[in-house]
Amino acid sequence: NAGVTQTPKFRILKIGQSMTLQCTQDMNHNYMYWYRQDPGMGLKLIYYSVGAGITDKGEVPNGYNVSRSTTEDFPLRLELAAPSQTSVYFCASSYGGGENIQYFGAGTRLSVL
Amino acid sequence: AQKVTQAQTEISVVEKEDVTLDCVYETRDTTYYLFWYKQPPSGELVFLIRRNSFDEQNEISGRYSWNFQKSTSSFNFTITASQVVDSAVYFCALGMNRDDKIIFGKGTRLHILP
């Protein structure tokens, strides 16, 4: 029962570097989400997708990009990393929209120095 | 506008005490769904419960219970005889079936002191 898998678990980036956070789910869920959680804070939605080939912005999309070429994968790309992007990133998936349970990955802890 | 308010930022109780976490929501939809998630110190968010707007029956699962009251737009979570393992951040969330997303509250950090 893999569920939602995120890699890497930890990463340190230098300012200006780029990286891709990987997210894969094996539950055949159509909907996938990326959140960030700053220290001691709640969740903020970055991007989401309702199916392969369809993505949409959340409340904090600046500095990030996503793609959804398959049902299983929803990578998050950080271009030109900044210290403000230091956070824990969570990927989640669900069968459908707001009425459905979201299942979360274990998170990626990112530090930008 | 839809909104979830968890007014208690942080709570500390001594082990074996009962504790209630408050959740107040706002929506004009008649069909909606309420959720609770637990985030233990390990960091992963764990789903606890989902309740739809047409089911106001209280739910009990072991030491956990949930009180849904539409009259006060609240979906409160009570832990009975708390244990140190209950220490976590708890999030309440609201979803509508016309929406692609769910709205999370800011969370309540619960400390259970031995």
- Reported as a single tens digit per residue, the pLDDT across A59-102 is 999 999 999 999 999 999 998 999 999 999 999 999 988 889 99
Q: In this predicted model, what pLDDT tens digit does every residue of A13-69 receive, in sequence order?
A: 999 999 999 999 999 999 999 999 998 889 999 999 999 999 999 999 999 999 999
- Could B100 and A31 be called an inter-chain contact, meaning their C-beta atoms sit closer than 8 Å? yes
Calculate the alpha carbon distances from A51 to A45, A58, A111, B21 in Å.
Answer: 17, 15, 30, 35
Calculate the alpha carbon distances from B75 to A65, B7, B36, B92 in Å.
Answer: 35, 13, 9, 8
Which chain A residues are within 8 Å of B37, Cβ to Cβ?
104
Q: Which of B32, B45, B52 sits opposite A104 (nearest CB)?
A: B45
- Could A99 and B52 be called an inter-chain contact, meaning their C-beta atoms sit closer than 8 Å? yes
User: Using CA atoms, how far apart are residues A96 and A24, in angstroms rounded to an integer?
Assistant: 17
- Could A104 and B50 be called an inter-chain contact, meaning their C-beta atoms sit closer than 8 Å? no
Which chain A residues are within 8 Å of B47, Cβ to Cβ?
101-103
User: Using CA atoms, how far apart are residues B66 and B20, in angstroms rounded to an integer?
Assistant: 9
**What's the pLDDT score for residue A39?**
85
* φ/ψ (deg, to 5) at B76: -90, 150
Spell out, as residue ranges, where chain B has pLDDT lower than 50: none
Gap from A43 CA to chain B (nearest CA, Å): 7
Gap from B11 CA to chain A (nearest CA, Å): 14
- Could A99 and B107 be called an inter-chain contact, meaning their C-beta atoms sit closer than 8 Å? no
Q: Which of A33, A98, A109 sits opposite B99 (nearest CB)?
A: A98
- Could A98 and B44 be called an inter-chain contact, meaning their C-beta atoms sit closer than 8 Å? no
The verdict on whether omega for the bond into residue A8 sits within 30 degrees of 0, i.e. cis, is yes
